[in-house]
């Protein structure tokens, strides 16, 4: 059996009892970064062999992991933080397990995108997760442009959808500039350090963020509602 186990996005207390029981019972834990995962495991005094699965080795490591599962091992898949597979490695492994009829179960838990949405004050009834936007400016503008009218009553009305995306700190300002170019000076929400001591969820016009953001650090969740 392969267990997909969600882990805390910041506060280590935000782990479920079922997740701890599973991590304690499996034969090994598949993780993206052994240093990050070890912090969690050591905190709860869990000692298991760690198997690295990341963007660089996933394609060549999947079958080896599947073989271990087919030979009777129980393994857990975790990401650095939050629910695995959401903009993290693991999709190819899950797909292969299902194709080879290896049992897979998913343990629900923290997700930074959903946590940010509930704190943003933006409409939560219709939302779309966009992951990480394209890196090149032209591709990013084209990517964002397709969402201008999505969910609106006609092709002339703004979309009625709340959009959620991840933003690395060194790309954040460029992403906000692209949003302004496509949508204008709309309000956007930035969520940062969620569940930690310095948690911040703040909404401002794009122009205000561009004036005040200086040397951002850490991952951000960016949310906006075009209308």
C-alpha pair distances (Å), 100 with each of 53, 77, 132: 19, 17, 30
Tell me: the pLDDT tens digits for 103-121? 999 999 999 999 999 999 9
Q: Is 191 helix (H, G, I), strand (E, B) or coil?
A: strand
How far is CA 21 from each of CA 18, 167, 205, rounded to the nearest angstrom?
A: 5, 33, 45
How many C-beta atoms lie closer than 10 Å to residue 153's C-beta? Answer: 9
Q: Which residues contact 224 (CB under 8 A, 6 or more apart)?
A: 122, 162, 163, 179, 183, 186, 187, 188, 189
Contact call for residues 23 and 76 (beta carbons, < 8 A): yes
Report the DSSP beta bridge partners of residue 26: none
Contacts 24+ apart (CB under 8 A), 208-215: 209/176, 210/173, 210/176, 210/177, 210/180, 213/172, 213/173, 213/176
Give the separation between CA 81 and CA 68, rounded to whole angstroms.
24
Q: What angle, rounded to 10 degrees, do the helices at 58-70 and 91-99 form?
A: 40
Instruction: Round to whole Å and give the CA distance between 217 and 173.
Output: 11
| Separation CA 193–CA 219 (nearest Å) | 8
CA-based radius of gyration for the chain: 19
Which residues of the chain are under the pLDDT cut of 50? 153-157
What is the C-alpha to C-alpha distance for residues 74 and 144, in angstroms, rounded to an integer?
A: 41
Domains and CATH numbers, the chain: 2-107 (3.40.1010.10), 112-224 (3.30.950.10)
Give 154's contacts (C-beta < 8 A, 6+ positions apart): none
């Amino acid at each position: 059996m392969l267990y997909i186990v969600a882990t805390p996005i910041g506060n280590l207390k935000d782990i479920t009892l079922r997740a701890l029981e599973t991590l304690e019972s499996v034969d090994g834990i598949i993780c993206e970064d052994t240093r990050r995962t070890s912090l969690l495991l050591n905190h709860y005094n869990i000692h298991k062999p760690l198997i690295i699965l990341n963007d660089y080795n996933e394609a060549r490591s999947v079958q080896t992991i599947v073989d271990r599962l087919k030979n009777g091992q129980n393994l857990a898949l975790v990401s650095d933080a939050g629910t695995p597979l959401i903009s993290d490695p693991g999709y190819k492994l899950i797909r292969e397990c299902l194709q080879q009829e290896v049992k897979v179960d998913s343990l629900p838990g923290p997700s930074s995108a959903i946590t940010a949405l509930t704190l943003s004050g933006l409409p939560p009834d219709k939302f779309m997760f966009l992951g990480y936007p394209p890196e090149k400016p032209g591709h990013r503008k084209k990517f964002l442009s397709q969402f201008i009218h999505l969910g609106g009553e006609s092709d002339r009305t703004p979309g009625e959808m709340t959009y959620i995306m991840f933003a690395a700190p060194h790309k954040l300002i460029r992403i906000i500039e692209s949003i302004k170019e496509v949508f204008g000076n709309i309000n956007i929400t930035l969520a940062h350090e969620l569940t930690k001591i310095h948690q911040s969820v703040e909404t401002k016009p794009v122009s205000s963020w561009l004036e005040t953001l200086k040397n951002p650090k850490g991952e951000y969740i960016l949310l906006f509602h075009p209308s």
